[in-house]
Amino acid sequence: MTLPLMSPAMRLIAFATLVLALLTTPAAAARQPVVVELYTAQGCAACGPANAFVGKLADRKGVLALMFPVDYWDYLGWADTFAKPEFAVRQKAYLPVLNLREAYTPQVIVDGRAQATGAQPEKIESLIRSAARASRNPPDMLFQPRRVLVGSGPNPPGGADVWLIRYDPAEQMVEVRRGENRGENILHRNVVRQIERLGAWRGRPSAYRLPPAPEEGLETVVLVQQTRTGRMLSVLQD
C-alpha cells in the first residue's frame, strides 16, 4: 500500500507536534509571568508617576511589564516620541472586555482581564497577586528560527489570538518640551516597538511565522490570549 505524501504544511505541523510533545525542560514547566500593560502618553500630565511605577515592575520576577504609548493626546501640543496608532487600537479593543466606555491614560491592564488607573499602585499590586495565583493550563511554546510553535491545549470558548510583541528593555528618559508636561523628564522602560497578530489558535499544535524585528536590541515575547475575555493563556519570552 502506498502512503499519501505529506504536504510541507502537514510536515511542519507534524514536526511541531513532536517537538512540543518532547518539551519537558524546567523552562517549559515554569510558571507563567503576569503580563502588565501600561497605556501611557508623554502628553498626559498624570502619566509620569505611572511610568515610574511600571518601570519598577519591569525588574520584578514573575512580571512582564510592557509600556504602550498612545497617540490620542498628541493634539495637546506634544507628539509622543514612541506612540504608534496600533497601540491605541489594542487598548480600545479592551473596552468591551473591561466594560469601559472609553480609553484613558494612564491605564494599567493586568493579565488582559482586569484594569486600574496608573494612580492606584496598591490596586495594581492586588491584581498582580490575584493573577499570579490563578490556575492555568498553558500550551507549550517554542521559538525556532523565523517561527514560533504553539502546542495543544484546551480550546477556549471563542478561540485565542497569538500575538508577537517586541519591546526595548532599556531605560530611557524623554524630555517633554511642549504641552502639559513641558520641562518634565518622563521615564520609559520596556517600551513596545512592534506588535503583530500572528494568527488564531484553536487548541491544536500550530506554527506561526515571525516577522523581522524593526530594529536591533529588542526583546521578543509571544502571547496566546483568549479572544473573548482577554485572558493571557500562555507567555513565551526569548
Looking at residue 101, its pLDDT comes to 96
Q: Which residue has the higher pLDDT, 17 or 166?
A: 166
pLDDT of residue 122: 97
Render pLDDT for 165-197 as a digit per residue (tens, 0 to 9). Answer: 999 999 999 999 999 999 999 999 999 999 999
**141-144: long-range contacts, CB 8 A cutoff, minimum separation 24:** 141/20, 141/222, 141/224, 141/234, 141/236, 142/19, 142/20, 142/23, 142/28, 142/236, 143/210, 143/220, 143/222, 143/236, 143/238, 144/207
Residue with the larger pLDDT of the pair 27 and 198: 198
Query: What number is the average pLDDT over the span 49-69?
Result: 97
Annotated domain spans of the chain: 30-237
Q: What is the mean pLDDT of residues 202-210?
A: 97
